[in-house]
Amino acid sequence: MHALPQAPPASELWTLSGGLRLAFERRAGPGFAFDLRLPVGSAHDPVGQEGSSGVLEEWLFKGVAGRDARALQDAFDDLGVRRGGGVGPEATRMGVSGLRDDLGASLTLVADVLLRPDLPEAELPVLTDLARQDLDGLQDSPPDLLALEARRVTFPRPADSPLAGFAHPPSGTLKGLEGLTADTLRAHLDAYGQAGAVLGLVADLEQEAALSLVSDALAGLRPGRQPQATADFQAGRRVHVTDADAEQTHLSLTAPGIAPGDSRWLAWQVALTALSGGSASRLFHAVREERGLAYAVSASPVLLGGQGFLTAYAGSTPARAPETLEVMLAELARLPQGLSADEFRRARSGLRASVVFSAESMRARAGALTRDVAVFGQVRPLAELRASLDALTLESVNSFLAAYDPVSEITIVTLGPENV
């Protein structure tokens, strides 16, 4: 194993008595960053109330603990902090970064948002109408519309599930938004608590000081729930959505992948990097460099319902789209034949470098700590991760690939003026 320039910082993982997990890493510097992940997202919206998670997240910020919406925003701005986060299919995240002395105050503000929101009912019609405007806006964006259609086709809701699942965006559906009331949203908020929640934190603090700041702010968080939505992959579907005015035809491909806990996970990551990890990668080279068929072409891993999937996207003008699709499928189809020694070396060194790059900024590292705990159940030490990458061999990756044939089960959804 190659040595890092400095000893990698040690991280700590604590579980508060209520269940919230705190992953902390000490880092020199005047800043701090944290990323709080609550395991409730749009996939967990109740059936008939699609949009619950998206609208609730906005509602939480409309006033807390004696501050109205504007005073709350001013309080964040007085600290000069940068806020991030939002609602995804499986989680709601609240991230803050700023100067270390403002960490305690920032945690308190976020705790106020979750624990002491005013939830003013007069704001609800405005928020559901904003979600409706967002859904209208999707109609004007072919790539977003395709992503939505692809989810609908590829991951429909299992008939017996009380959860709405992956087939709608965080803004919900027009019908679902009509079903939202102050009472249904308050009931939905009960799920937002310590169960399954993870806070990743990076700052230059003693461990005890970090733990006590987080405990003081968040130990009182309600118990919460950790709902599980099932990603019911539909293999072999082929759907075209006609959009007569689109300039390009947009292509979405989804195939089974490898789950994060699986021993083949890293080999799959190497294969995806060789497929789409840089300007010499297979998709970029075959579609863009060699044939000039598209500007945007990529493949990436997606985790849904604890499973891994491979998704690929490209956009080409209608006359060229059939060839683009053909080339993409051909590249996926030759994965079982394995990588060359050069491809393997490049992909592995790219992943090794990305381990360092992704840990460089406090904000990125806080996000990675949270993701590690949420997805892998533990913080993966950087040195260990590099060692596991070093332990991979071309033979091990190729023996994995020999049995990995994404095309056999691929689902293809396209959107554009003509069927592909």
Partner 1 sequence: MFRGGIEPLTHVLPNGLTLLLEADPVAQTVAAGYFVNTGARDELPQEMGASHFLEHLMFKGSERLSASVLNERLDDLGGQSNAFTGEEATVYHAACLPEQTGELLDTLTELMRPALRESDLEAERGVILEEIAMYADQPGIRVIDELRADYWGAHPLGHLILGTTQTVGDLSREALTHNHRARYGASRVTLALTGAFGPEAVLEWATANLADWPAADAPGVEPPPIPAFPARVRVVPDPELSRVQVALAAPGLPVTHPLREAAGVLADLIGGENGALYWALLDTGLADSADLAHLEYRDAGSFEGGFSCDPARAQAVLDIFRAVLRDADALITEPAVRRAARKLAVSTLLRAETPQGRLFALGMEYLATGRAETTPQLVDHYAKVSTGAVREVLRLCPLDRWTGVALGPLTELE
Q: Which residue from 11, 49, 92, 97 is in contact with partner 1, where contact means CB under 8 A?
A: 97
The contact pattern for partner 1, residues 138-157, with x = CB under 8 A and - = no contact, is -xxxxx--------------
Token couple for 176: 């679902």
Token couple for 330: 């051909």
**3 state DSSP class of 233:** coil
CA distances from 411 to 76, 144, 279, 294 (A): 44, 18, 26, 20
- Interface positions, 217-256, toward partner 1 (CB under 8 A): 245-248
Contact status: 403 vs partner 1 (CB under 8 A): no
Q: Are 51 and 45 in contact (CB under 8 A)?
A: yes
User: Residue 301 CB: number of other CB atoms within 10 A?
Assistant: 16
Whose Cβ is closer to partner 1: residue 100's or residue 225's? 100
Contact status: 278 vs partner 1 (CB under 8 A): yes
Q: What is the size of the binding site for partner 1 (CB under 8 A)? A: 73
DSSP 8-state code for residue 303? E
User: Residue 158 CB: number of other CB atoms within 10 A?
Assistant: 12
Contact status: 105 vs partner 1 (CB under 8 A): no
Q: Are 366 and 358 in contact (CB under 8 A)?
A: no
Q: Which residue type occupies 192?
A: Y
Contact status: 120 vs partner 1 (CB under 8 A): no
Contact status: 346 vs partner 1 (CB under 8 A): yes
Which residues lie closer than 8 Å to 266 by C-beta, 6 or more apart?
Answer: 388, 389, 392
Give the helix/strand (H/E) hosting 240: strand 238-242
Give the helix/strand (H/E) hosting 414: strand 411-416
Whose Cβ is closer to partner 1: residue 280's or residue 407's? 280
- Interface positions, 291-320, toward partner 1 (CB under 8 A): 291-296, 315-317, 320
Contact status: 341 vs partner 1 (CB under 8 A): no
- Interface positions, 30-69, toward partner 1 (CB under 8 A): 30-31, 69
User: Residue 264 CB: number of other CB atoms within 10 A?
Assistant: 19
Whose Cβ is closer to partner 1: residue 89's or residue 315's? 315
The least distance separating partner 1 from the CB of residue 31, rounded to whole angstroms, comes to: 6
- Interface positions, 357-376, toward partner 1 (CB under 8 A): 357, 359-363
Contact status: 200 vs partner 1 (CB under 8 A): no
Contact status: 77 vs partner 1 (CB under 8 A): yes
Q: Which residue from 22, 43, 81, 251 is in contact with partner 1, where contact means CB under 8 A?
A: 81
| Candidate ranges 46-54, 210-218, 342-350, 394-402; the one touching partner 1 (CB under 8 A) | 342-350
